[in-house]
Amino acid sequence: MQIQKRDIALSIVLTVITCGIYGLYWMYKLTNEIHALSGKPRTVDGGTAVLYTLLTFTIYFYYWLYKIGEELVELRRMNGLSDDSVSNETYRLTTIIMTIVSIFFMTMGYTWQIVLTIFAEAAPMHSALSRNNDVFFAIFFMGIVLIIVFFWIVFIQSALSCGVLWAVYERKDRNPTLVYLLMALLRTYGFTVSFLQLSLNDFLLQRGNVTPAFPTEFIHTQTDSPVSLQKPLT
């Protein structure tokens, strides 16, 4: 199996336009590639990981993210590289941007639902020849609900963002596993996997300058199963 760097921007775009389907394929490939390189799998294979994610309504994804992050960190350590190739500034900037984006789209979604509810409530009132102040009261009430929902969204997203920023600021080493997990809770699934991919891409780029602890080249047998051929290089 030839493992090559993956275009992160293209992968994010494909994940968005396929409504997450490509993201599952990305998860599948990333899992199997890291397993093949490390030789010490800490999760199930890629196909099973995707299946568990679907069956648990993404709950397994958080466990997978933490464990596959640990495996990638260990792989980099064994090859003399730092735990993470992503800078703290990149994590901070991404967190802030994704917080703003999440608040915007979640607010728009709730606003649309409330607007539809207002029209649904107002129509029977007009048909029943209700007084105008009844319609006004319904619209006013829905407006209050919208404001409360907006501030609740801002509070939750801001709290999660502060958690990520705190984890980035306080981490004593370069281990990014906790940051991965917190960013996933921030609903940055695609971007969180992107950081894994970025770290893996860096490993593939740097492996020509380091002595690999495990072979990075595999061949296919007739059953298409990857087989390790070499001992660790010295």
pLDDT value for 217: 42
pLDDT value for 227: 35
Q: Which two tokens stand for residue 67?
A: 């464990």
pLDDT value for 127: 52
pLDDT value for 12: 87
pLDDT value for 26: 95
pLDDT value for 221: 32
- CA 179 – CA 46 distance, rounded (Å): 22
pLDDT value for 172: 67
pLDDT value for 165: 78
Ranges of residues in the chain with a pLDDT under 50 are 128-129, 210-234
Q: What predicted TM-score, i.e. pTM, was given to this entire model?
A: 0.71
Residue from 76, 78, 101 nearest 86 by CA:
76
pLDDT value for 118: 65
Contact call for residues 228 and 214 (beta carbons, < 8 A): yes
Question: For 42, left (φ over 0), alpha (ψ -120 to 50), or beta?
Answer: alpha
